[in-house]
Amino acid sequence: MTKVLAASTDPMFGLFSVIRDDGSMSDEHKAKIPDALLARMYREMRRLRALDERMLVIQRQGRIGFYGEVKGQEATPIATGLALDAEDWIFPALREGAAMLVRGFPLDTYVAQCFGNSCDVNKGRQMPSHYSGKSVHQVSWSSCIGPQVPQAVGAAWAMKLRKANTIAVGFLGDGATSQADFHNAMNFAAVFKTPCVIICQNNHWAISVPSKMQSASPTFASKAIAYGMPGVRVDGNDVCAVYLALSDAAARARDGEGPTFIECVTYRMGAHSSSDDPTRYRSNEEVDAWRKKDPLDKLRKAVVARGLIDDARDEALFNEVDNEVKAAIVKVESAANPPRESVFEDVYGELPWHLREQREELLASAPPPAHGAGH
């Protein structure tokens, strides 16, 4: 077992963390997280927080139909985007879309996915916040809870059969551990030693169902034991901890040692989605307690401790990333809708007869009245 994984001595109760309360970290960890990487992590997290805040506002203004916030869980997608090789594949669950941004996917095209207009690579055929980017090796979240895990394991198996030097990372929430897909995938991954990492973001809630109602296991990480793979429990609000744990697990997978299961212990600070009201099922005290462990504040302490930022530079950074988000929204919001007939594209090389008929019928009908943002 590699170093970080071994350091988390007890998969049931260990919690691997890197950033201490005062923002410092051990010399060993400091050497693995150089200043440039730490500063990059902070910029990405600042931008993601700014993106969430603006996107939620435009959803409330009726400019997009739906939005799924990441607030509180930014550490894991950012660490994932930074820890993997460009050729590795990501199979995200609900809140890892932003790993694409870290891997260089354009912010305006990402935002366009929520408008579902002609700037969206999916041509508006997915629900908002269901991002995907072939260019950055990230498949779409399928909306069903669980299937991204067997998909990741299957892709990893194909990589192994082809002797590729790539790995796949599959995500799920704590709620998804109750799905059969999770168990099938864990078993298959361990038996066939597929080069993958399976990451559970335990954010303590599956919409209104608390994580203690999902499992009687002492921790989610401990489930790995039964399947015969290493399990590690990581502070999911510590981007450096997730980065190091995933880097080790990825190296392990690449070296032919098989899968690793990582539980990232975190908290969904916002609502499940823009359609949810969490005040109906959880207490303000609980939210306040987790707000004190905000991953952005934790990371800020680390960049301050290294002397990489002060208040003035932080404010300038906030303005810079917020302007970047505003500019991305302005750039794509007024784009035209995708052509109606694009609904028939990109599945079949040659359209079957019944879809050809439907396409002709659609084109013969009057087009809907033109309107701006497509909502």
Residue 29 known to be catalytic: no
Cα torsion angle, 280, 283, 284, 290, sign: negative
Site membership for ligand TPP, residue 127 (CB under 6 A): no
To ligand TPP, the closest distance from the beta carbon of 133 in angstroms equals 20
Q: Which stretch in 119-127, 142-150, 242-250, 359-367 sits in contact with ligand TPP by CB under 6 A?
A: 142-150
To ligand TPP, the closest distance from the beta carbon of 243 in angstroms equals 20
Those residues whose C-beta lies under 8 Å from the C-beta of residue 135, and which sit 6 or more positions away, are 105
Choice between 68 and 81, CB closer to ligand TPP? 68
Site membership for ligand TPP, residue 206 (CB under 6 A): yes
Site membership for ligand TPP, residue 94 (CB under 6 A): yes
Site membership for ligand TPP, residue 203 (CB under 6 A): yes
Q: Give the distance, in angstroms, between the CA of residue 59 and the centroid of all CA atoms in the same chain.
A: 20
Cα torsion angle, 318, 242, 183, 92, sign: positive
Choice between 175 and 374, CB closer to ligand TPP? 175
Phi-psi region of 71 (alpha: psi -120 to 50; beta: other; left: phi over 0): beta
| Contact with ligand TPP (CB under 6 A) among 128, 170, 175, 230 | 175
Residue 47 known to be catalytic: no
Choice between 203 and 274, CB closer to ligand TPP? 203
Choice between 282 and 306, CB closer to ligand TPP? 282
Residue 252 known to be catalytic: no
To ligand TPP, the closest distance from the beta carbon of 285 in angstroms equals 20
Choice between 176 and 253, CB closer to ligand TPP? 176
Site membership for ligand TPP, residue 106 (CB under 6 A): no
Choice between 39 and 127, CB closer to ligand TPP? 127
To ligand TPP, the closest distance from the beta carbon of 268 in angstroms equals 6
Choice between 176 and 224, CB closer to ligand TPP? 176
To ligand TPP, the closest distance from the beta carbon of 329 in angstroms equals 24
Those residues whose C-beta lies under 8 Å from the C-beta of residue 56, and which sit 6 or more positions away, are 67, 69, 270, 274
Those residues whose C-beta lies under 8 Å from the C-beta of residue 344, and which sit 6 or more positions away, are 351, 355, 358, 359
Rounded CA separation 296/23 (Å): 12
Site membership for ligand TPP, residue 176 (CB under 6 A): yes
Choice between 170 and 175, CB closer to ligand TPP? 175
Q: Which stretch in 46-54, 205-213, 234-242, 248-256 sits in contact with ligand TPP by CB under 6 A?
A: 205-213
The one catalytic residue in 60, 281, 348, 356 is 281
| Contact with ligand TPP (CB under 6 A) among 19, 111, 145, 262 | 145
Rounded CA separation 326/324 (Å): 6
Return the exposure string of 331-358: e unless at least 16 CB atoms fall within 10 Å of the residue's CB, then b: bbbebebbeeeebeeeeeeeeeeeeeee
**Which letter does DSSP use for residue 264 in this model?**
E
Q: Which stretch in 34-42, 121-129, 162-170, 172-180 sits in contact with ligand TPP by CB under 6 A?
A: 172-180
Rounded CA separation 42/127 (Å): 29
To ligand TPP, the closest distance from the beta carbon of 43 in angstroms equals 24
User: Can you tell me whether residue 185 is helix, strand or coil?
Assistant: helix
From 111, 91, 106, select the one nearest 50 (Cα to Cα).
111
Helix 311-333 to helix 35-60 angle (10° resolution) is 50
| Contact with ligand TPP (CB under 6 A) among 7, 58, 158, 207 | 207
To ligand TPP, the closest distance from the beta carbon of 106 in angstroms equals 25
**Which letter does DSSP use for residue 373 in this model?**
S
Pair of tokens at residue 2: 């590699």
**Which letter does DSSP use for residue 133 in this model?**
B
HEC string of 324-351 equals HHHHHHHHHHCCCCCCHHHHHCCCCCCC
Q: Which residue is nearest to ligand TPP (CB)?
A: 173
Q: Catalytic residue positions?
A: 268, 272, 281
Query: Could you list the residues that contact ligand TPP (CB under 6 A)?
Result: 94-95, 143-145, 172-176, 203, 205-207, 268, 272
